[in-house]
Structure 1
């Protein structure tokens, strides 16, 4: 059930309050608390049969709430600092501040140099980020357990010692970075302004949700650095924060560190709870966006309640019945009948209010008129009203909740995020069982009641997104104009002073890490069956789940070039009807089990993925057997999929990143190779595919002769052998994967320009063919070599284009290696006005690196990052399954990781720099630009490269 997974948010990442013997776990009580720390609550779980997260809750004298959760299953820790401030706390005219400061928090503090936060965490073998939404901002790190003190030192330094380091220069750079992010994620993306315009229309001026989190460019241009500092001082105090730490921790030591680094930071101003402010509309509001899209979109939005309101749960169930997958009324009435390429219903909820959203992408083969689509949506609502709620509707909901909850048990980060969010918004970290109960108690009468109360005949926002110049396709003429923004806000002119903090230790000294943890590569059992299947299994009882991944080698590489997309099309048909059950019946059975079975084809493989709870595994595998061996291949399913694919391919051509990827493949591999076309093919090749082609592909290539099988979870080997007998008895003929035709050769690097008129940004790629994958050879070493060039946040390319120049939201480079092919690629989405400058900087960074190589300090940084990151590699069943699948795909043994470790430790600077000279030759690299050609050509002509304008085939 999609909405449950998303909106419970916190409910999807939990921990059973049970150990392996099903007894409640007992958090260790810290007997001698550090001075200034008090125990608020000790939560040991809710006992047998209940789902909960054990934790201990403390508070410092400055108001900082601290939550600790022990999980010794992996040698890592996850730290989350959540501040109860998002865009909803901003003033009119100062939108985007919360998100802006998320960026500023990575720009150094009193004892941490500019951009060093990323570098320190990366060298510690960890990963990190920050996120902002309307209601909160959080910063988080996952690191090996021996790095915990260092993370706490870092987070405390930017909480208490940030203001004095916020300079005008940093402010200006990050202001440009935020603008670039808006351009990349909103203005230059099809449908990118949908959420912002919907909020502007639904909420009255001044409502906390009437502007988007990213903010308006004019507001970002208006404010000063002192405005930003004042915002930080108002909201970023310890009394408005929750520090949550989970993983392999020692509570006594952890609390001592927390008090040491956070205890002396003074509390900020008192923060009152934000009032709940749901809205109502007096009449329907119709608005239209003309956008760079091919498929018209309609969205109906009804205002409802707020998160954890008593009516939230039945509204979520209603959204699932109406638009939750193939069992829904929307699928039956819009998608299956080809009136829509996609149709969904959701009920996203936030702290202050919720929205009931009904969305459909029109299928132009039927009609582009959104008024007709709106009519079908409203007819579906009337059908629901007449039909009511049946037993399977509620059963599917409850099974979906159970499944998503238990699958969410698999990562420490998920559990920590759950505790942090629940504490921030409700003051009660473990609300898992409460949430499960309120959804489990929803009745059919509840669902019908909320439908009548919030949806039936109620006023709504109707948003139409149509191609530029085709406003006539909108559902109705626009009857609502956004009111003029009245900016009444004061600019802060006086200098905002940082608080005075006194410590009895030297904060300028970064704590040293403890001993490196002992990381164990997953143990596995290898079995080779006489039908050709190679299987690796790993048993773990951390959660009662099973993940199965079946890979058939070949995939899209087996397509005839004139019918490119056939493997992908066949996989989609495998997700449809069987000889025994209709498409909808199969979907219903899977939903009742809380299981997933999906077929897909990409890259070099056709893959079948199964996720199931242990107690439903046998029934799920029975459904897999039916789907794998008894596909119906109905003409009506084929026609619908083909029509939808055609519309999706048309829409993709509006996406500049897709155009860049397609242009890259054509240049790298030539038009005569299957590799030059996307996995799904293009419009011309799709048109050549017939149902008989699908049947033939299935018969010829769905065989076990080149199959790899990975199973990870709470499994018992003897029972497993019985459960998968249908796979081990499977028989089929072998087949050959076609050889590649010759690739194009280039005597010199050129600049290839794909014209996309009215683009808000430019997409830049610098590419060259490179080495295929190897585990311990030159390709592996090329990835080590690339680390300081473009392989991390603090890389030369990213620091130059993002942090120094403000040209982009992010820039990177990488060596991508597959089984037989490889590629070097540097990429960035950049400001249109600086397209030429950005290309020049990227090429110069590559050239300088090729000529002079990395430094000793960069080598040390790479060694530290790679050698310690293994602690994070095998935490979840999914990550374990991916590792085992990697072994099978490349014929590796688990010991290859030991050999990689030896190479990382012993590779010399001279060897890596020689690889840089060999593989990074800019005169052989091709530059690809997707942009408004008329606007960027004058810049590009100054680069000294021949400019070739190309078109991406439809």
Structure 2
């Protein structure tokens, strides 16, 4: 629910996870991007914000309506979120799926709802701007003529599936609603959740939802932001053409801040099928824009946000391994805010004891206050993330719209950042004492049978006065609005040129310059990861990567984190299946210092035994928690079913509790030594630098890094034995949904069929408008979303199709999924229309990959990992375009084998097994435990064939 600068920047810039105070001598003036905007208001009240950015031929179209769950009345909750879905179902002049024409041009598209607003966005190629504006204006002005009972019923089912997937079928899923009901009184607009009551949605009539729409979805209750590659004069003309004639709606009264007051502490205890106990502490705070907001933001960072240096991490996870995870936050919304502390306990640890320790840290802060250094680090986390987070057009559009809706000024972030930098240790100490009192909510969740969900309150509508439906004037157009605008020629886009250099030690360096913002990203791609780990040591690659940032020969873990904080930089390491990466993100003013720390981590990791022991404990807890969710179980078991445990692709890449426990320091040292060689890696550099400058700096920094014998990356061939369709079942008692995974061993990245397979999968299940998703979600209402994908790897990677479906229709959903897989291989091959649609989406959306430094760096990693040709990106679009329908039909028939696929179902066995057994190909249901091991016959109640 956070609407402040802290969470906006954390969401927009997840890549920069560790930052801190500036170098010594900094004048403490924040480095604020100076975005130029043109804001004006149409006569009908629509706010319009324009921001030009010609970095890539992409335009972000972002529309915010000032309506959220806070505007809903008793008995009619969930309407704002329901309309988020209904707005994609067609309008008068485009009475069809909204996703169709917009996906066809390669756009990124979605919407979201919060307590305070609903937003919709399309990040489109610049030649499709008029199309996006036409569609947005049509659903603003002409949604209701196309709204039918069938559409309402269908999307009501989709929302119910979303609830099952995001609330009922996830660990700790009931806690969010429980906290809202405990913190906010029944008459408070925040008392109910955004998704609302399913009973209210079931009772909603067409008249009910139509009245809600007429009340809130009008130009004078909305804000439109357009950011990116456009012509201002032409864009103003288009906005006036499509939005100008839309009439004003009723004036919506602005709700005033309403901060709840707790007169006493509240302690709530719940149980759930979880591995780790969890406690949440919540205090009420002021609304968005309150004078204390920034001081509370800093307090949350000091207490539970600064990487490795926050108070709770030190007390509960570093000095003592009592907790598996801790964090603190300050989500502030339009009417009120919340200060939160969340602690996941290690198994066997008492929540009372953890709360006692957390309270001691809070009391220490209240008594002594934070240090000046802590405050500066917290401030600079947000400074760095502000710069990094404003690279992509769509992000900037959403960011500017947020501030316009909340403060009436799209550039209000500047003043907010200045206020943040004026926060002092005394300010933080004061707000800690003022807000973190004994009167708080404490919510415990312990392992056990799930606490029964509270029955939804039924509202007697007969006693309610009917909602008055506003009268809206008719639209008077001087053009034919029913004609869809033609999309102009696809703008020519050339990916950023890559300069290749080779250092004296043999390290290949790929450099892509970007000078729009003072950001530099380095990404070292080491060839080798979990696939090279010996059997019995699964998890070694990722554990080795995690330990890289836990200390060097000259700095321990905390000293390294502190040194990075001093310059607001982050160093992240990741051990993947076939590669290991080490990345640096920094503001360019700190390039030299950042590079010094980066090369220290690269060349001098010490792999301390103490840190290995700590990370081992954390990993063990994470592995146990992963099996709490049906999706987590599927992610572990399905690869094992396809490949078996003898193949690297079938083993759990993060390890098992047993293998993690077996990993010793000497294993880590040896694995690192074998992989981290300059002749076994490539360094990708993206950002505000030049090839000459960065090459000179690198040559000096890593001249001591010597080449060696690179490991071989030979992989065993997956088993080629084909068995008839086989169903495996993992029991997840009381699961609200079943997770389906259907697939087979696929193809390697080097297959000559890569491009036709990419297009075939797009049609099958690789996009919203795919066959699988339109069938299971839009037509049948079985799922919130279903997909398919090929995981292309060095060796033959997996093909998988599936998703989460309602428990009651598990069998029916599986039948439809298999039908789509069979149809595309012959009975119903890809059509010309489908192929053209998929090509357009992929080709026209290609520039989106290059909007950010870390996006470019991640995309370029494929060049070195899979030995792709130097002109790969330059020729990508033409190679997609050259694929014909016959090729797509051939690869579908050749490479998909529905008659011999593996089927995994994770769900409530007591409710789904009989249905599965009735399928003609389900001669045996192979029942497994959550790790993929066959259950003994007594438990399986029949023949069992497990994953060997």
Task: Identify whether the pair has TM-score above 0.5, normalized to the shorter chain.
Answer: yes
Is the counterpart of residue 699 in structure 1 residue 679 in structure 2? no
Cα offsets for 1:734-789 (capped at 9, x unmatched): 232453345332321111111111111000011111111138x2122111122222
1:83-482 correspondence to structure 2 within 5 Å: 83-115=65-97, 117-324=98-305, 325-336=307-318, 337-364=320-347, 367-455=348-436, 457-469=437-449
> Offset at 1:101?
0.3
Aligned counterpart, 1:950: 928
Q: Is the 8 A contact 2:30 2:421 kept in 1?
A: no
Is the counterpart of residue 652 in structure 1 residue 626 in structure 2? yes
Distance in structure 2 (CA, Å) of the matches to 1:596 and 1:5: 20
Cα offsets for 1:436-487 (capped at 9, x unmatched): 11001001111111111111x330000111112499xxxxxx9x99996766
What 5-or-longer segments of structure 1 have no aligned partner? 14-46, 472-477
Distance in structure 2 (CA, Å) of the matches to 1:469 and 1:784: 45
Cα offsets for 1:704-747 (capped at 9, x unmatched): 23101100111133331232233344114223245334533232
Distance in structure 2 (CA, Å) of the matches to 1:651 and 1:48: 40
Q: Is the 8 A contact 1:534 1:888 kept in 2?
A: no
> Offset at 1:530?
4.7
Distance in structure 2 (CA, Å) of the matches to 1:276 and 1:686: 50
Over 3 Å counting, the alpha-carbon distance change for 1:487 and 1:369 in structure 2 is farther
What RMSD in Å do the two structures reach over aligned CA positions? 2.4
Aligned counterpart, 2:899: 923
Q: Is the 8 A contact 1:109 1:165 kept in 2?
A: yes
Distance in structure 1 (CA, Å) of the matches to 2:782 and 2:6: 33
When the two structures are superposed, what TM-score results if normalisation uses the length of structure 1? 0.92
Cα offsets for 1:210-258 (capped at 9, x unmatched): 1111112222222222211111111001100001111111121111111
Over 3 Å counting, the alpha-carbon distance change for 1:333 and 1:262 in structure 2 is same
Aligned counterpart, 2:580: 606
SS in 1 for 2:522: strand
> Offset at 1:869?
1.8
Aligned counterpart, 1:709: 683
Q: Is the 8 A contact 2:715 2:795 kept in 1?
A: no
Cα offsets for 1:590-629 (capped at 9, x unmatched): 1221100011101211110110000111111211222223
Over 3 Å counting, the alpha-carbon distance change for 1:431 and 1:5 in structure 2 is closer
Over 3 Å counting, the alpha-carbon distance change for 1:491 and 1:688 in structure 2 is farther
Is the counterpart of residue 503 in structure 1 residue 483 in structure 2? no
> Offset at 1:833?
0.3
Q: Is the 8 A contact 1:201 1:482 kept in 2?
A: no
Distance in structure 1 (CA, Å) of the matches to 2:648 and 2:110: 38
Over 3 Å counting, the alpha-carbon distance change for 1:296 and 1:935 in structure 2 is same
Q: Is the 8 A contact 1:533 1:708 kept in 2?
A: yes
Distance in structure 2 (CA, Å) of the matches to 1:824 and 1:535: 33
Cα offsets for 1:48-84 (capped at 9, x unmatched): 9764321111111111111111112221211011000
Distance in structure 1 (CA, Å) of the matches to 2:7 and 2:415: 15
> Offset at 1:163?
0.5
> Offset at 1:495?
9.0
Over 3 Å counting, the alpha-carbon distance change for 1:793 and 1:484 in structure 2 is closer
> Offset at 1:127?
1.3
Is the counterpart of residue 549 in structure 1 residue 528 in structure 2? no
Distance in structure 1 (CA, Å) of the matches to 2:871 and 2:444: 56
Is the counterpart of residue 731 in structure 1 residue 706 in structure 2? yes
Residue of 54, 57, 62 corresponding to 1:75: 57
SS in 2 for 1:943: coil
> Offset at 1:197?
1.4
Q: How many residues align?
A: 909
Distance in structure 2 (CA, Å) of the matches to 1:78 and 1:710: 28
Distance in structure 2 (CA, Å) of the matches to 1:891 and 1:120: 35
Residue of 834, 843, 855 corresponding to 2:809: 834
Aligned counterpart, 2:730: 754
Aligned counterpart, 1:790: 765
SS in 1 for 2:791: strand
> Offset at 1:906?
3.2
> Offset at 1:898?
4.7
Over 3 Å counting, the alpha-carbon distance change for 1:906 and 1:599 in structure 2 is closer
1:760-775 correspondence to structure 2 within 5 Å: 760-774=736-750
1:517-596 correspondence to structure 2 within 5 Å: 517-596=491-570
Aligned counterpart, 2:780: 805
Aligned counterpart, 1:34: none
Over 3 Å counting, the alpha-carbon distance change for 1:49 and 1:797 in structure 2 is closer
> Offset at 1:386?
4.0
Q: Is the 8 A contact 1:774 1:780 kept in 2?
A: no
Cα offsets for 1:830-881 (capped at 9, x unmatched): 0000000000001111111211301121122123222322232322212221
Cα offsets for 1:795-850 (capped at 9, x unmatched): 11111111111100001112221122222211110000000000000111111121
Aligned counterpart, 1:641: 615
> Offset at 1:923?
0.4
SS in 1 for 2:390: helix
Over 3 Å counting, the alpha-carbon distance change for 1:487 and 1:184 in structure 2 is same
Over 3 Å counting, the alpha-carbon distance change for 1:631 and 1:605 in structure 2 is same
Moved more, 237-246 or 528-537: 528-537
Aligned counterpart, 1:22: none
Distance in structure 1 (CA, Å) of the matches to 2:884 and 2:417: 55
Q: Is the 8 A contact 1:343 1:361 kept in 2?
A: yes
SS in 2 for 1:410: coil
Over 3 Å counting, the alpha-carbon distance change for 1:633 and 1:223 in structure 2 is same
> Offset at 1:382?
2.1
Distance in structure 1 (CA, Å) of the matches to 2:396 and 2:789: 32
Q: Is the 8 A contact 2:765 2:788 kept in 1?
A: yes
Aligned counterpart, 2:663: 689
Over 3 Å counting, the alpha-carbon distance change for 1:661 and 1:769 in structure 2 is same
Is the counterpart of residue 58 in structure 1 residue 51 in structure 2? no
Is the counterpart of residue 664 in structure 1 residue 638 in structure 2? yes
Distance in structure 1 (CA, Å) of the matches to 2:756 and 2:874: 15
Residue of 576, 598, 612 corresponding to 1:624: 598
